[in-house]
Chains A and B, each alone.
Chain A
Amino acid sequence: MLGFGPKGWGPALIEGAMMTLLVSFAGMAVGAALGSCVAWAKLSGHTIAGAVGNAYAAVFRGVPELLVVYFVYFGSSALLTGAFHFAGFEGFFGVPSFAAGALAVGVISGAYQAEVYRGAYLAIARGELEAARSVGMSRGLMFRRIIVPQVLRFAVPGLGNLWQVALKDSSLIAVTGLAELMRVSQVAAGSTRQPFVFYLAGGVLYLVLTTFSNRFFDFAEARATRGLRRMEG
């Protein structure tokens, strides 16, 4: 039943796990874009931009993830349908559940990623920025050579945690019908009438995903800080 034979659900579950990885990754990317914008807004010192950034982070951290998923899924389809009607088309236009799911995970993740990037920026030694300015680097060059590499280095542990959160949040996208791991487990549980086996199998696959990505982030952290270790030892 769990196997890979003609009646086995193994391949479907593995495909589901791949879809979970894909949609979480797309969500993380959306979150990175949103999060870095919000972090920039907060750090800019601009009153209105800062307030908008704070409001965004507060709202998406204070509202249930499931509600965000529903809101993005229903809301984006309604928007799209409205836009098509405006352009003269008839009928209902749904946003693909992958796009809606990635967007939902991304909006949530962005609210948390903003804090990670902001913290990482503040962790850069002020002297390095002053030094860059004093050797005559332009703002763009300083951003590329001094700020980005260090922000990425300091952000790795935080991003690792948020990747785990994104993986787990992506299970909520099952309500939109996207065939990711949770949804596949649901379908398998329903059609074989073996809910315990299949939800457990789904859970184990999630554990495999989180464990292996943990390993990856440990490795990434070790690599990102390889220049720093000499100072400790």
Chain B
Amino acid sequence: MDPGFVVATFWRLMAALPLTLEVWALSVLIGGVIAMGLTWMRVGGSKPFAALSRGYVFVFRGSPLLVQLFVIYYGLSSFAFIRQSFVWPLLRDAFPCAVLSLALCTAAYTSEIFRGALAAVPNGQVEAAKACGMSGFRLFRRVIFPIALRQALPAYSTEVISMTKATALVSLVTLWDMMSVALKIRNDTLVTYTPLLVAGAIYFVLNFLIARAFLTIEYRLSKHLRPRRA
């Protein structure tokens, strides 16, 4: 391996990192919001809503993200009525399509995590809060949410990390993320290993940092569970 080539490859890949990060952050954010809606539908008590939410999770977890991405990017644009509607300026470009399909997919997994976390809140805590006269949003904000958040964090961090890995798929819908730049360098220079290795290293460090950040948050949030220092 030529060190000069490695450095040049590294900087060309780093130039594509912002796009990878944008896709990642937007889809995690939007996916999180959709997931909250799905979870609310699932546990809200309405049967049709719960069935709808269950169906959504079934479809988006049971099929590969690549298929979902292609249905949205290549599939929807083949309809004339979509090309004439108000959503076309959004669906015309690869970037919004990529973010949309990643967000829809992660929402399914995330809503299951949220649901599990809600189910893990001890009933006694909720009853105690009700006995103190808390109800509705205050009960959620003060008792349910803080406990569920701590329950959800470990699984949620795994999902967020799998999203960084999923951003590599957007290279297949013409976006210039790190993955497609690495492939372009490979095609141009015919160097087999180096571009993919350097890209892999950047993804790895990125995921390591995300995992660290989540561990730090978990540590901060569990202060009350550790024995106090003398």
Contacts and interface: CB of A to CB of B under 8 A. Distances in A.
A200 interface: yes
| Main secondary structure on A side of the interface with B | helix
Nearest to B172: A175
A63 interface: yes
Interface stretch (A99-107, A147-155, A202-210): A202-210
A62 B68 CA distance: 23
Contacts of B192: 74-75, 78
A211 B59 CA distance: 10
Contacts of B166: 64
A174 B70 CA distance: 13
Contacts of A171: 64, 66-67
**Centre residue among B63, B161, B179 by max chain A CB count within 10 A:** B63
A100 B211 CA distance: 30
A63 B200 contact: yes
A64 B67 CA distance: 17
Given A75-B192, A75-B193, A196 B78 contact: yes
Contacts, number: 113
B203 A64 contact: yes
B204 A200 contact: no
Interface string B100-132: 000000000000000000000000000000000
A195 interface: yes
B63 A203 contact: yes
Given A62-B204, A63-B204, A211-B62, A206 B165 contact: no
Interface residues of B, number: 40
A70 B204 CA distance: 16
Contact of A66 (B68, B70, B168, B207): B168
Interface in A118-170: 164, 167-169
A199 B193 contact: no
A206 B171 contact: no
A163 to B, nearest CB: 12
Contacts of A19: none
Contacts of A185: 67, 70
B204 A199 contact: no
A89 interface: no
A172 B172 CA distance: 10
A64 B179 contact: yes
A66 B64 contact: no
A204 B68 CA distance: 11
B71 A200 contact: yes
Interface in A49-65: 58-59, 62-65
A194 interface: yes
Interface in B154-203: 161, 164-169, 171-172, 179, 182-183, 186, 192-193, 196-197, 199-200, 203
Interface in A198-222: 199-200, 202-204, 206-207, 210-211
A67 interface: yes
6 contacts: A66-B169, A67-B168, A67-B203, A75-B196, A196-B74, A199-B71
Given A65-B165, A74-B192, A189-B74, 7 more contacts: A64-B166, A67-B179, A168-B64, A174-B66, A186-B70, A189-B75, A196-B78
Interface of A: 58-59, 62-67, 70-71, 74-75, 78, 164, 167-169, 171-172, 174-175, 182, 185-186, 189, 193-197, 199-200, 202-204, 206-207, 210-211
